Amino acid sequence: MRRTVTVLVYSDDVNTREQVRLAAGRRVAADVPPLEYVECATLPAVLEALEAGGIDACVLDGEAVPAGGMGVCRQIKDEIFDCPPVLVLIGRPQDAWLATWSRAEAAIPHPIDPAALAEALAGLLRGRLPSVA
C-alpha cells in the first residue's frame, strides 16, 4: 500500500481550503492511505500542479472566483492527460446537474459535511488506486 495520497484543494477562499482539510483530516478511511494536500488559489496554480503530476484526486470549489470549480473541472478533464478524479463543492444541491456537466466524479454541497466529504473522497481514491481497493 502507498504511504500517502495527494489531494489538490482549489478555492480562492483560504477558509474554504481550510474547511476541506479539516473536514477530511489526515485519513478519510481505514483502507485509504493518509492524505497530503496541495492547496491552490488560482487556475494557473491548479494547472501547474496537475501538469507536475502526483495528484491522486482534486477537490474544487464550485463557488470560487473568477474561475469556478465546475469550469475548472471541465477544463482539466479536457486538458490534463489521465486527469485525477474530481469532487466539486456545489453551492446548492440543485447545482448537481452542473457538476455532471463539468464531468466531476462526485459533488457535495456547501456547507461541507465532514462525513459526506470523507465518504466521497475515499470512493474517488479507492477507484484511482488499485492498491487501496
All cell numbers assigned to 88: 466539486
Of 49-58, 92-101, 123-132, where does mean pLDDT reach its minimum?
A: 123-132
Look at residue 62 and tell me whether its pLDDT is greater than 60.
yes
> What's the CA angle centered on 50, arms 31 and 67, to 5 degrees?
110
Q: What is the pTM assigned to this prediction?
A: 0.94
Q: Is 83 exposed, middle or buried (0-12, 13-18, 19+ CB in 10 A)?
A: middle
CATH tag for 35-127 (out of 3.60.21.10, 1.10.760.10, 3.40.50.2300, 3.20.20.70): 3.40.50.2300
Q: How confident is the model at residue 133 (pLDDT cuts 50, 70, 90)?
A: very low
Alpha helices in the chain (DSSP H): 14-24, 43-52, 69-79, 96-102, 114-128
Look at residue 1 and tell me whether its pLDDT is greater than 70.
no
The whole-number pLDDT of residue 107 equals 96
Residue with more model confidence, 100 or 44: 44
Domain residue extents for the chain: 35-127
The whole-number pLDDT of residue 95 equals 85
Q: Is 111 exposed, middle or buried (0-12, 13-18, 19+ CB in 10 A)?
A: exposed
